[in-house]
Amino acid sequence: MIWRDGVVRGLGMSWTGAVELDVEITMAPGPDRPEGAGPLPPGPLPPGPLPPGSRVRALAYPRLVGEPRPGDRVLLSAAPLARGLGTGGYALVVALPDRLPVDPPPAPGHLVKARYTPLQAMVLGADEQESAHHHLLEDADDVAGLPVVVADLHSALPAVVAGVRAAEPALRVAYVMTDGGALPAWFSRTLAGLRAADWLCGSVTVGQAFGGDVEAVSLHSGLLAARMVLGADLAVVAQGPGNLGTGTRWGFSGTAGGDAVNAVAALRGRPVAALRVSGADPRERHLGISHHSLTAFGRVALAPADVVVPAFDAGTDLEQSLPEGLPAKVRAQAAALAAPAGIHRLVEVTTAGLAEALATSPVRLSTMGRSLEQDPAAFLAAAAAGVHAARLADTSGAWPDAPVTG
């Protein structure tokens, strides 16, 4: 932990559940060493980065810490900012110590998420006994063929939904957010924008993640809630923003994608694997199909899925900008996931018309800092998975009596 004290000098952008702040650092801890203790050890020491007087961009979750105002003193957690980590680039507000929020009114709900951390949150889960939906989920065991797109990165979400809308615009799409990245759903401006534009019928936060329209204990109960509580015709499963990777074969949070395929199959859904594809990533292991997808779907997934292979259409300027040889590379890599080497079914989906569909996104398309124009393959591949899932969707009313919220 790297702690800092600061004062709010201004408010920035806000979206559902979050607000940006301009904070001036007022206090940074220094090394507490008695006189004559000898030289300090090599390496950076506080106050080092973020010294008093510096200004930082901070993020507060008002539902956890209260509504910040200019002039408020804030206690910050600043380690990721000080280390220069990419996602968000924020110091996070831990507390407004001089103006704590009032206690919330008594309410049902006893699920604790982000458990045993200082900012653990108590929420009402759709699957717990106090919930009005408990009777729906108590013995539920089947999502009745619900198509579920499983993606590695959160940035695939708007592209997948764009593909769904290009094929079947009336489908109700739910987002099921796992806990491999950000835990608060409020961190995601993408999610807030998609909800505001009615591109999603709702979100479900599962595991340690929280802040969705619906809370659930596990991915399995979250998928059931997407179908039975939100009335979704189709779901997208992906971690929140902040994918974690180490450059090793197994050390990345996206391995959970394989577990998600297994969960969908266990509930008799239709798992659809959205390949993580790039034509611009500087790292060889992520060019073409990322090793994350090849490992998660090829080694972790024990149930078969429809693996969507984009058939890039050369008729648009966007696709003409793809690196030479990328389509052939993607097809060759995907072959390892199907028989005889793998268990999955490869489904080739044309990307014709998807550039136009992606252009309608109500949120900014960005993956690993690259835009649609800089890495079109990433978004076209995700959109193609959305197209295929939409074609699988059964809108005949599998849950005619299910309450619909969100």
pLDDT along the chain (406 residues), means of 10: 94 97 85 47 53 92 96 93 73 96 91 94 96 96 97 97 97 98 96 98 98 98 98 98 90 95 98 96 91 96 98 83 92 95 96 96 95 95 98 63 33
Read off the DSSP letter of residue 103: P
- Please give the Cα distance from 122 to 110 (Å, whole number): 6
- Please give the Cα distance from 329 to 335 (Å, whole number): 10
Read off the DSSP letter of residue 299: I
pLDDT at residue 29 in the model = 67
- Domain spans of the chain, in order of start: 3-95, 134-392
User: Can the peptide bond before residue 46 be classed as cis, meaning omega within 30 degrees of 0?
Assistant: no
**CATH architecture of the domain with residue range 134-392:** 3-Layer(aba) Sandwich (3.40)
Question: Per the structure block, which two tokens stand in for 21?
Answer: 């702040």
Strand 366-367 versus strand 345-350 pairing type: unpaired
The answer to whether 128 touches 110, Cβ cutoff 8 Å, is: yes
Cβ–Cβ contacts within 10 Å for residue 14, how many?
A: 13
Please tell me the pTM assigned to this model: 0.91
pLDDT at residue 81 in the model = 82
Question: Per the structure block, which two tokens stand in for 256?
Answer: 């959970």
pLDDT at residue 256 in the model = 95
Q: Cα 289 from chain centroid?
A: 19
3-state secondary structure 162-193: HHHHHHCCCCCEEEEEECCCCCEHHHCHHHHH
Read off the DSSP letter of residue 338: B
∠ CA 60-62-66, rounded to 5°: 110
Enumerate the β-bridge partners of residue 56. Answer: 23
Q: What are phi and psi of 261, to 5 degrees?
A: -55, -45
